């Protein structure tokens, strides 16, 4: 498998945006995009080392399971990462994102996710000319972009560094700032940097299961089993 360059990832992400009716600069609402793509997305608690899982059936149906123990910013990135595996992976197989050093298709998926969520056009429209020419970005701009694009501090800073908008020294300096503390100091909600979404289901899995039950195609017991997949053993949403 060939390693994609940052430029190639940007081109692929731009094509994906175009194909799905998104402008090159607008922030992406992951849940709305997933619904539009007719992918079933479930947020459930997974182990600490598991960020998410994706798979595609032989009929083309796609599914994602995202770890609700991850921060919301990390969840957003994982969804974009898994989109690469579902649409562009050379060897599409059930995939689990476990973090760690990224190589091969994992590196490609990370670069695609970064370019998809933080397009070059979107980034440049959010930074002043003075910051661009000085190769530095102030913390107020960083916080605004984190919340605009719904990504973690580390994800955004890597993107800015890859684009040559901040120096390595400025990257290290910004990485050293406490994330939640700086967010609160500048009046931002810290929810982006915390876990959430547990039990949320995006897609029509539940609707289809109910229709099958109402039409007598599956039994009540089978229907309850399907609901337990989404909401847990007691059938109640977490």
Mean pLDDT of 217-233: 65
Mean pLDDT of 42-63: 86
> Predicted confidence band at 178 (pLDDT cuts at 50, 70, 90)?
very high
With a cut of 50, say whether residue 238 has pLDDT above it. Answer: no
Mean pLDDT of 10-16: 97
With a CB cutoff of 8 Å and minimum separation 6, the contacts of 124 are 132
Q: What is the pLDDT of residue 57?
A: 81
DSSP codes joined into one string, 131-171 = HHHHT---HHHHHHHHHHHT--HHHHHHHHHHTTSS-HHHH
Closest CA to 178 of 211, 147, 143: 143
For the chain, the domains span: 6-193, 204-231
Mean pLDDT of 211-222: 70
The mean predicted confidence, pLDDT, of the chain is: 87
Angle at 113 between CA 7 and CA 122, to 5 degrees: 70
How far does the chain reach from its first CA to its final CA, in angstroms?
A: 40
Closest CA to 70 of 34, 46, 104: 46
Q: How far is CA 137 from CA 104, 155, 195, in A?
A: 31, 15, 27
The tens digit of pLDDT for each residue in 76-128 reads 999 999 999 999 987 766 677 766 656 678 899 999 999 999 999 999 999 99
Separation between Cα atoms, residue 44 and residue 139, nearest integer Å: 33
> Predicted confidence band at 236 (pLDDT cuts at 50, 70, 90)?
very low
């Amino acid at each position: 498998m060939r390693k994609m360059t940052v430029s190639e990832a940007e081109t692929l992400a731009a094509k994906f945006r175009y194909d799905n009716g998104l402008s090159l600069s607008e922030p992406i609402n992951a849940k709305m995009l997933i619904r539009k793509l007719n992918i079933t997305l479930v947020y459930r608690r997974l182990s600490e080392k598991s960020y998410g899982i994706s798979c595609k059936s032989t009929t083309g149906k796609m599914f994602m399971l995202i770890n609700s123990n991850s921060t919301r910013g990390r969840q957003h990135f994982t969804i974009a990462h898994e989109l690469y595996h579902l649409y562009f992976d050379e060897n599409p197989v059930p995939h689990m994102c476990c973090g760690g050093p990224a190589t091969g298709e994992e590196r490609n998926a990370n670069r695609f996710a970064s370019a998809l969520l933080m397009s070059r056009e979107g980034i440049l429209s959010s930074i002043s000319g003075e910051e661009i020419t000085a190769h530095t970005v102030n913390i107020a701009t960083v916080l605004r972009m984190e919340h605009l694009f719904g990504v973690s501090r580390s994800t955004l800073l890597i993107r800015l560094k890859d684009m040559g908008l901040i120096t390595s020294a400025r990257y290290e300096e910004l990485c050293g700032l406490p994330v939640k503390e700086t967010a609160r100091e500048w009046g931002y909600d810290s929810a982006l940097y915390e876990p959430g979404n547990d039990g949320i289901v995006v897609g029509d899995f539940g609707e289809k299961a109910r229709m099958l039950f109402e039409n007598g195609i599956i039994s009540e017991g089978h229907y309850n089993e399907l609901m337990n997949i989404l909401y847990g053993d007691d059938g109640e949403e977490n």
